[in-house]
Amino acid sequence: MNENIKAASSKKHEPRFHIVKRDQMKWQKAWAIRFVAIVSALLFSALITVLLTGVDPIKFFSALVDGAFGTSRRRWLLIYETSILLCVALALTPAFKMRFWNTGGEGQVLIGGMATAACMILLGDKLPTPLLFLVMIVASVAAGAIWAVIPAFFKAIWNTNETLFTLMMNYIAIQLVGYFCQIWATPKGSGTIGIIPNGQFPALFGNQYLLNVIVVVALTAFMFVYLKYSKHGYEISVVGESENTARYIGVNVKKVIVRTVALSGAICGMVGLLLVAGTEHSITKNTAGGRGFTAIIVSWMAKFNPLYMVFSALLIVFMDRGAKQVTTLLKLNDSFSEIITGILILFIIGCEFFINYKIASKSHKEDKN
Amino acid sequence: MDFSVFFQRAVMQGIPLLYGSTGEIITEKSGHLNLGIPGIMYVGGISGVIGAFVYQNSAGAGGMNPFLAVFIPFICSVLGSLIMGLIYAFLTVTLRANQNVTGLALTTFGVGVGNFFGGYLIKLSNADIPSIDITPTSIFFKKTLPFAEDLGWFGKMFFSYTFMVYLAIIIALIAAYVLKKTRVGLHLRAVGENPATADAAGINVNRYKYSAICTGSVIAGIGGLYYVVDYIGSWSNDGFGDRGWLAIALVIFAIWRPHLAIPGSIVFGGLYILFQYIRSDDLAAQEIFKMAPYIVTIIVLIFISLRKKRENQPPQALGTSYFREDR
């Protein structure tokens, strides 16, 4: 197919094929194409695994499913990981819809987590628990929002490139966490903050992960309504489509950019809160764990629709956890799951082409256009 | 502190960044922001290591031919990063996929590939420490000019390096010349600024994009190779760290000019190792100093957007895909 396009761009011969942009494709058909892409990615991953290790492909797939759903603990971990990833993806979505490429989710999550950890360490034994929780929530949300607003401010005023700015902010956040890990290390000199005793969120109904799930369900609903039915959501879409149109109809573009990105960062900060106070009860440079980057892919795969995002997040986490099981089974190393996840994402990215464009042969050209 | 030693270490630390950013500049000039560079550099590194590992085990430490010892890892690295470049180009040019998403996915994939094969070879080599020893190959890469020792500090600062250091500088200078002075460079810049206009002027947009992305990936991949076989001499998983992102930062620092990336890489290399010159018991302060390259990049980024000089801006069509019928 590559040759066809190359042929289409060469000027010597009349091209036999050319590419046409589709009108809106029927959603059933679009999802069928995505389904085919996912299945092909799975088959391709299985093929690679078989070639590398000589394992039976059936064993590959059963391990994949077993790793994700095998035990009650694995199912809960799957739900938990999905909820966290979904939360970050939801956070980034309003910014993406506005065409503001927030690649700084990683840093915003970390800085929110850092603010939470700071409250837990410094105020943990000084405040009553409900007040401490309140301070933690405010601090983490504010920290995430500030971390995101800094690049947004420069984008709004001087049109500074936000992709690269937010990317750099990640590493500053990582080093800042590194700094505090040294300052507050327990035991001194170990370079790690151990389990922080105060300010841990209680386990709801004896389940450590349930709180995250409730928060993320509420957030998904909120984000869906916010983007689809609120005035803010409308302004975000207009600015994303065309800043000039937005200005023409009287939208204050600068204000919308800063406000939307602040919201994006605030939710990321809240994810930091959930991670640190809810499950990990500590913080390391690796607490965000690359979710800030994976979430970009999750959000994009779902076409920035919060409801679809539930599925794209689940798919990525399923692949990741399943592939980890394949890794253990075959005694490979952990990075194998990154390869498999990478293959899946690349296939899905590729298949979007067939949803947005079609390849028309020359004879069809006249009657279609 | 001896400045010539600091300078020498800064240069050697900066060279992987110089390869990476020269590659990324060429790519960005075609209008493609390749965030897959960190992954591509990992793949470039591990491909070279695989080549070196296979050759040195088949030839034995005594029977290694100096030319092949350098050539085999080199060609493996070039092939590995070329494949990565082709994946990126196929997805973003031919299939017009979103560049940021594709790049990030490619980085996930590339780091996974690097660490997977790294881990595999580590298991094969049965070493006590989790790394692949490629010292026998590394020796051939580390040959330096014989007269550098005799020239004192001057020799140390300018002539004490391995051939891959000079190669990086030569590649950056050639890239600067080609972009600025030749017809090919002019066409490439036209494609990156405004592909529709370039297309109308009869430039084959897709061919330029493919060539720029692949050339850029190969150069960046060689940076990974330099770090592993020349600078370190062994592979350990995640050893390359965040240098790929720093290479992307360096592109901004050099305001999209490969020849400015040469001094830029030395500055970044210096900033990168600055923390080692802080009191060695003050680990907290070291963490703060590790921020330096990123803060400097942000300041440069703000500064160039503030001054709005047209020749210092990113290519205008950066990040957007081109569809001929979409005008």
* Structure confidence by residue, pLDDT tens digits, A338-351: 888 888 888 988 88
Same domain, A124 and A265: yes
Give pLDDT, residue B148.
66
- Higher-confidence residue of B306 and A219: namely A219
Mean pLDDT of A205-211: 75
Residue A125: inside a domain: yes
Residue B317 within a domain: no
Residue A59 maps to a domain = no
Q: Is residue B318 part of a domain?
A: no
Average the pLDDT over B301-309 and give the result: 80
Residue B302 lies in a domain: yes
Range of the domain at B29: 3-312
B165-177 in b/e burial notation, b at 16+ Cβ within 10 A?
Answer: beebbebbeebbe
Amino acid identity of residue B66, one-letter, is: P
How far is B243 from chain A, CA to nearest CA, in Å? Answer: 11
Assign A365 a pLDDT band (cuts: 50, 70, 90). Answer: very low
Instruction: Assess whether A306 and A213 both reside in one domain.
Output: yes
Q: Residue A108 domain-assigned?
A: yes
The chain B residue lying nearest A189, using CA atoms, is B283
Altogether, the residues listed in chain A come to a count of 369
Could you tell me the CATH number of the domain that includes residue B55? 1.10.3470
Interface test with A, best of B109, B122, B280, B286 (most A CBs within 10 A): B109
Tell me the CATH number at A288. Answer: 1.10.3470.10
> Which residues in chain B have their CB less than 8 angstroms from residue A341's CB?
108, 112
In this prediction, residue A117 carries a pLDDT of: 92
Does residue A16 register a pLDDT over 70? no
Query: Chain A within 8 Å of B106 (Cβ-Cβ)?
Result: yes
Nearest to B108 among A163, A338, A352 (CB): A338
Best to test chain B binding among A1, A20, A159, A175 (most B CBs inside 10 Å): A175
Same domain, A106 and A187: yes
Three-class secondary structure assignment of B86-99: HHHHHHHHHCCCCH
Helix, strand, coil abundance in chain B, percent, nearest 5: 75, 0, 25
* In the predicted structure, residue A266 carries a pLDDT above the cut 80: yes
A7 and A81, same domain (yes or no)? no
Q: How far apart are CA A68 and CA A64, in angstroms?
A: 7
Identify the sign of the CA torsion A56, A58, A59, A60: positive
Mean pLDDT, residues A294-301: 88
| CB contact at 8 A, A107 and A169 | yes
Domain assignment of residue A326, yes or no: no
Handedness of CA B228, B231, B233, B238 (dihedral sign): negative
Interface check A288 vs B, CB under 8 A: no
Of the listed ranges A22-26, A124-128, A213-217, B186-190, the least confidently predicted one is A22-26
Shared domain for A203 and A337, answered yes or no, is no
- DSSP tag of A207: B
Contact B119 A182 (CB under 8 A): no
Token representation of residue A217: 């369900």
Question: Model ipTM?
Answer: 0.84
Q: Residue A95 domain-assigned?
A: yes
Q: How many helices (H) and strands (E) does chain A have?
A: 15, 2
Shared domain check, A33 and A102: no
**Of B191, B170, B243, which Cα lies nearest the Cα of B32?**
B191
- Tell me: do A280 and A164 sit in the same domain: yes
Query: Does residue A342 belong to the interface with chain B, where contact is any CB pair within 8 Å?
Result: yes
Please say if the pLDDT value at position A10 is more than 50. Answer: no
Would you place residue A273 in the very low, low, confident or very high pLDDT band (cuts 50, 70, 90)? very high
Whether B35 and chain A come into contact, CB under 8 Å, resolves to yes
Same domain (yes/no): A30, A129: no
Overall pTM surpassing 0.90 (yes/no): no
CA distances from A314 to A280, B118, B249 (A): 21, 29, 33
Same structural domain for residues A93 and A163? yes
Pick the residue of A338, A343, A354 with the most B CBs within 10 A to test the interface with B by mutation: A338
CB contact under 8 A, A332 and B101: no
Q: Quick check: is A325 in a domain? A: no
Question: Which chain B residues touch A333 with a CB distance below 8 Å?
Answer: 115-116, 119-120, 123, 237
User: How many structural domains is chain A composed of?
Assistant: 2
Nearest one of A182, A168, A52 to B249, comparing CA atoms? A168
Per-residue pLDDT at A366 exceeds 50: no
Residue B249 maps to a domain: yes
- Domain extent, residue A203, equals 75-320
- The whole-number pLDDT of residue A265 equals 94
In the prediction, which pLDDT does A362 show?
60
Q: How confident is the model at residue B280 (pLDDT cuts 50, 70, 90)?
A: low
A328 lies in a domain? no
Any domain includes B46: yes
Q: What is the mean pLDDT of chain A?
A: 84
**Mean pLDDT calculated for residue range B258-273:** 91
- Work out the burial of residue B193: count CB atoms within 10 Å of its CB; fewer than 13 is exposed, 13-18 middle, 19 or more buried: middle
DSSP class per residue in A188-200 = TTSSS-----TTP
> How many whole angstroms separate alpha carbon B268 and alpha carbon B171?
18
Looking at the domain assignment, is residue A69 inside a domain?
no
| Three-point CA angle B212, B217, B222, nearest 5° | 130
Query: Average pLDDT for residues B206-235, to the nearest whole number?
Result: 91
The answer to whether residue B272 sits within a structural domain is: yes
Do A304 and A281 share a structural domain? yes
Task: Evaluate whether residue B283 is within a structural domain.
Answer: yes
Closest listed residue to residue B297, CA positions, set B255, B326, B244: B255
As for how many domains chain B has, the answer is 1
- The Cα of A74 is separated from the nearest Cα of chain B by a number of Å equal to 23
Cβ atoms of B140 and B64 within 8 Å: the answer is yes
Residue A332 binned pLDDT confidence (cut-offs 50, 70, 90):
confident
Distance CA B226, CA B73 (A): 10
Q: Which two tokens stand for residue A260?
A: 């939307």
> What are the two backbone dihedrals, phi and then psi, of residue A359, each rounded to the nearest 5 degrees?
-100, 115
Residues A193 and A304 in one domain: yes
Same domain, A95 and A22: no
